[in-house]
Amino acid sequence: MLNPSGRRHAALAALAVLAVAAVTGCKTPQPIYEQEQFGSTSPYSHSYAAGISATCEAARRALLSQGYVINQARSDLIDARKSFQQDSDTHEEIEFHVVCALAGGKDDTSMAFVNAVQERYSLKKTNSSASVGVGAIGAVSLPFGSSDDALVKVASETIHANAFYERFFELVEHYLVPGLSVPITPVEPRRPLPVTGPHTD
C-alpha cells in the first residue's frame, strides 16, 4: 500500500501523462490562409519569348493534344476540362485555366498563369419507397420503389504539384511559334450536363 507521498507522486505522474496526451492528440490544424506564402516564385506561372496570343494559342494546342475539351478560348485566356474514370463509382475531372499577360511591358514577351483544379465525383444511390393504401389503416410504406443514381461532387482541390505544371509549360514551349499571332474566335463558356445513371421503376 502506497504512503501519502507515494500516492502524491503517482497522481502527479498520471496528470503529466494526461497532459502530454492532450497536447499531442488535440493539435489544431494550421489554417489554410497561413499556408499561403505569396512568394515571388510560383509553380503557376512561366514566361515565354512570344506575344500574348501566341502563348495562349500554344497553350490551347497543348491541352488539345492531351485530350482536354476547350470550354472557352480567347486570345488571352483558355479554359479546358478533361474527365477520368477511376472505377465504376468514381469520376474525376481536371479543370485547366490559363491566363496570358504581357511580361515586362514588351509585346514580344508574355507570362502564362496556370491553375488546375481536380474535382472528384462519387455515385450516390437514392432509394424511394412506395406507399400503398390499406383501407382504414391508411398508407403503408413498402421497401420497394425506384432507385436513382447520380454523380455528386465530393471533393475539389487546386493541384499544387510543381512537376505537373512543369510538364505543361514544356509542352507549351513545344507548340510555341514566336511571333505567331492567331486571333482565337471567342467560345462561349459551357458547363457539362449533370451526369446521372440509369434508374428503374
Q: Are strands 77-87 and 69-74 parallel, antiparallel or unpaired?
A: antiparallel
For residue 118, the tally of other CB atoms under 10 A from its CB is: 15
In terms of Cα–Cα distance, which of 30, 158, 13, 179 is closest to 94? 158
Confidence category of residue 1, pLDDT binned at 50, 70, 90: low
- CA distances, 133 to each of 138, 145, 185 (Å): 5, 15, 61
Residue 50 has what DSSP assignment? S
Q: What is the pTM of this model?
A: 0.65
Relative orientation angle of helices 162-175 and 52-65, to the nearest 10 degrees: 110
Task: Give per-residue pLDDT as tens, 64-122.
Answer: 999 999 999 999 999 999 999 988 888 999 999 999 999 877 778 999 999 999 999 99
- pLDDT tens string 31-41: 888 878 787 78
Say which CATH class 42-122+151-175 falls into: alpha beta
Domain positions in the chain are 42-122+151-175
Q: Which three cell numbers stand for residue 125?
A: 444511390
Q: Which residue did the predictor score with more confidence, 201 or 93?
A: 93
